Structure 1
Amino acid sequence: MSDDRIVVGSLAGAFGIRGEVRLKSFCAEPADIAGYVPLATPDGRIFRSLEIVGQTQGSLIARVEGISSKEQADALRGTPLLVERSRLPALPDDEFYHADLIGLPVQDAGGNPLGTVRAVLNHGAGDILEVVRPGGATFLIPFTLAAVPLVDIAGRRIVADPPEGSL
């Protein structure tokens, strides 16, 4: 995926039989995703209109241009929705787009490598960095100031102090 595009949501399959889709929004305010149209898919498809028509547990319900049947909606399940980075708002110094964190090397305060960020997870209690060690094993670090005192996007590194027993 190009570094100049950011995933702002994904299609999560059909809702009903008339082509409405379940839509997972990764925006701070989920409904804000509608303001980013046109939305692109990694394979180049462009959705020029999106109308939010409801909400269900964990997702929005939307009508999306070009999706008019349950089968079309289900065929697109899991499809990421992308926008150009330049269209997104600038973030405060202590906030980051997940795409900027994934792939960054993680080191301890002494500069010893711990691994590389594979994913940013959130299961309701706050963000967690999934870090993969050179051998392939993974560990989790809470994405808090105490556990991750430094995120240096420009310097391409994260300094972490993982909780006892997490490595």
Structure 2
Amino acid sequence: MTDLIPVGAIAGAYGVRGELRVKSYCAVPEDIENYSPLSNEDGSKTFALAILHPIKNGFAARISEIATKEEADALRGTTLYAERGQLPSLPDDEFYHADLIGLEVYDTGGVLLGHVKTVQNHGADDLLELQLAGTSATVFLPFTKAAVPTVDLASGRIVADPPLGILPEEDAD
């Protein structure tokens, strides 16, 4: 498990005085401010983020070191990370997406299906994008209790029972 968890991203400038457009990945979007200071992926830059007010698809925010629109635009696309210790503990049946990425996925018979490449959410339930074993192909597996009955972070594995039609069909010879 990684010590840095992505909690948001900078979408660019908001106005001309160095304010930023920030997108939050937090379950309670406003909580992103509580995890300051935030950092970039390699930890080389830290940001003390202050939310100014909600805007469409996120928040207008300020970082004290950013004073101009150009400086704000230079940070566009920066993913914001919080240290794991800053985040709340989760119930047993909830997981940070960063903890799922890279886990090996086995079917209920113990056959390796592949590994989790990404976790997607397009408005409904989360989807695990699986990189299938021995191929470059990927499939999307619903991250539901029925399709994913077991997540074992300690052993780095997931047991899945994919619905019919999710996995490519094997050629019957």
User: Normalising by the residue count of structure 2, what TM-score does the alignment of the two structures yield?
Assistant: 0.90
Pair 1:139 & 2:139 matched: yes
- What is the 5 A alignment of 1:30-109? 30-43=29-42, 44-47=44-47, 49-109=48-108
How far residue 16 of structure 1 moved from its aligned partner, in angstroms, is 1.8
- Give 1:42 deviation, angstroms: 2.2
Structure 2: 5+ residue runs without aligned partners? Answer: 168-173
Partner of 1:154: 154
What corresponds to 2:24 in structure 1?
Answer: 25
Q: What TM-score do the two structures reach when normalised by structure 1?
A: 0.93
What corresponds to 2:170 in structure 1? none
Pairwise CA distance, 1:8 = 1.2
- Report the AA paired with residue 143 of structure 2: F
After TM superposition, the structure 1 stretch with the greater mean CA deviation from structure 2, 62-71 or 118-127, is 62-71
Could you tell me which residue of structure 1 aligns to residue 166 of structure 2?
Answer: 166
- Deviation by residue 1:82-107 (Cα, 9 ceiling, x = unmatched): 12111211110000011110000111
What is the root-mean-square deviation in Å for CA atoms of aligned residues? 1.3
Structure 1 counterpart of 2:30, one-letter code: A
5+ residue gaps in structure 1?
none
Q: Give the Cα separation in 2 of the matches to 1:164 and 1:18.
A: 54
Q: Which runs of 4+ in 1 moved over 2 A?
A: none
Larger-gyration structure (1/2) = 2
> Superposition pairs for residues 113-124 of structure 1, below 5 Å?
113-124=112-123
**Number of residues paired by the alignment?**
165
Q: CA deviation at 1:58?
A: 1.8
